[in-house]
C-alpha cells in the first residue's frame, strides 16, 4: 500500500455496508484514479469478499481474532479474511478495544497469513507500547474527538508530533478523530504522520464524493 494514505473506516453506518457501502468504496476508487493518491477502506466483515473483488484499492477488515483454523465459533479467522481478498485489518479500534496480549497475538496471526496491520491507540504512551509489537501502522485517535466536529490536527497538534517522535523512525503513524478536510490532512502529514484514519467525516457526509476529493487534495504535495 502506497503511503501517505487515507483510510476510511465504514464502521456499521447505514452507508457502510451492502449496496450503499459499495457505492462509498467505488467513490474512493474514483478519487484514487482521478487524483493519483492512495486510499483504502475498512469494511464490515460480511462485505470484505464482495468489495475486494470489485475494486483495485486496498480493503481492510475492521477486526480479526487470534484464533487458528478449527474451533472458535463466531471468531474472525485471519486466513478467511485473507482468502476473502482483504489487504489488511484494523485492530484495537476505540470501539473494539482488546487487551495488549491479544493485540500481540492478533498481529502475529495477521503476519502469518500476510495481512497488513493498522493498530489503533488512544495516547502517546499506548503508541509507545504498541510500537514494540511492530505493526505495519499505528493509528493515534484520541477517543474524546472521535465522531466530533473538532479535528485532532486542530486540537492536538503537539500530541501528534509527540506520538511521531515517541515511536521513532522505524514506525509509521496515522492520525484520526474528527478529520474532515484537506487542511486536516495537510497538517497531519506536516507533523510527521503518513496518513489519516477517518469515518464519520465521509460516512455521514451529505456529499461524500466532495469530501473524499477535498481530503485527497490535502495529500497532493506529499
From 93, 95, 112, 122, active-site residue: 93
pLDDT recorded at residue 156 = 74
pLDDT in tens, 118-144: 999 999 999 999 999 999 999 998 877
pLDDT in tens, 43-88: 999 999 999 999 999 999 999 999 999 999 999 999 999 999 999 9
Q: Is 93 a catalytic residue?
A: yes
Predicted structure pTM score: 0.95
pLDDT tier at 222, thresholds 50, 70, 90: low
Cβ atoms of 60 and 7 within 8 Å: the answer is yes
Grid coordinates belonging to 83 = 482468502
pLDDT in tens, 183-220: 989 999 999 999 999 999 999 999 999 999 999 999 88
d(CA 108, CA 97): 17
pLDDT in tens, 13-46: 999 999 999 999 999 999 999 999 999 999 999 9
Decide yes or no: CATH 3.40.50.1460 for domain 5-217: no
From 141, 169, 171, 209, active-site residue: 141
Q: Is 169 a catalytic residue?
A: no
Give me the residue spans of the domains in the chain: 5-217
- In sequence order, what DSSP letters do the residues of 94-143 get, joined into one string? TTS---HHHHHHHHHHHHHHT-EEEEEESSHHHHHHHHTT--SEEEE--G
Amino acid at each position: 500500500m502506497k503511503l501517505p494514505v487515507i483510510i476510511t473506516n465504514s464502521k456499521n453506518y447505514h452507508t457502510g455496508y451492502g449496496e450503499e457501502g459499495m457505492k462509498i468504496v467505488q467513490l474512493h476508487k474514483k478519487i484514487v484514479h482521478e487524483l493519483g493518491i492512495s486510499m483504502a477502506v475498512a469494511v464490515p466483515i460480511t462485505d470484505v469478499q464482495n468489495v475486494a473483488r470489485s475494486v483495485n484499492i486496498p480493503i481492510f477488515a475492521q477486526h480479526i481474532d487470534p484464533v487458528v483454523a478449527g474451533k472458535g465459533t463466531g471468531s474472525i479467522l485471519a486466513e478467511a479474511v485473507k482468502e476473502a481478498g482483504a489487504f489488511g485489518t484494523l485492530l484495537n479500534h476505540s470501539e473494539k478495544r482488546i487487551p495488549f496480549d491479544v493485540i500481540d497475538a492478533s498481529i502475529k496471526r495477521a503476519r502469518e497469513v500476510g495481512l497488513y496491520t493498522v493498530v489503533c491507540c488512544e495516547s502517546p504512551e499506548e503508541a509507545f507500547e504498541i510500537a514494540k509489537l511492530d505493526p505495519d501502522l499505528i493509528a493515534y485517535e484520541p477517543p474524546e474527538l472521535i465522531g466530533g466536529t473538532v479535528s485532532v490536527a486542530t486540537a492536538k497538534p503537539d500530541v501528534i508530533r509527540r506520538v511521531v517522535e515517541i515511536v521513532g523512525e522505524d514506525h509509521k503513524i496515522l492520525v484520526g478523530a474528527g478529520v474532515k478536510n484537506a487542511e486536516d490532512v495537510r497538517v497531519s502529514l506536516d507533523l510527521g504522520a503518513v496518513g489519516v484514519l477517518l469515518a464519520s467525516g465521509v460516512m455521514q457526509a451529505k456529499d461524500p464524493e466532495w469530501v473524499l476529493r477535498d481530503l485527497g487534495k490535502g495529500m497532493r504535495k506529499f
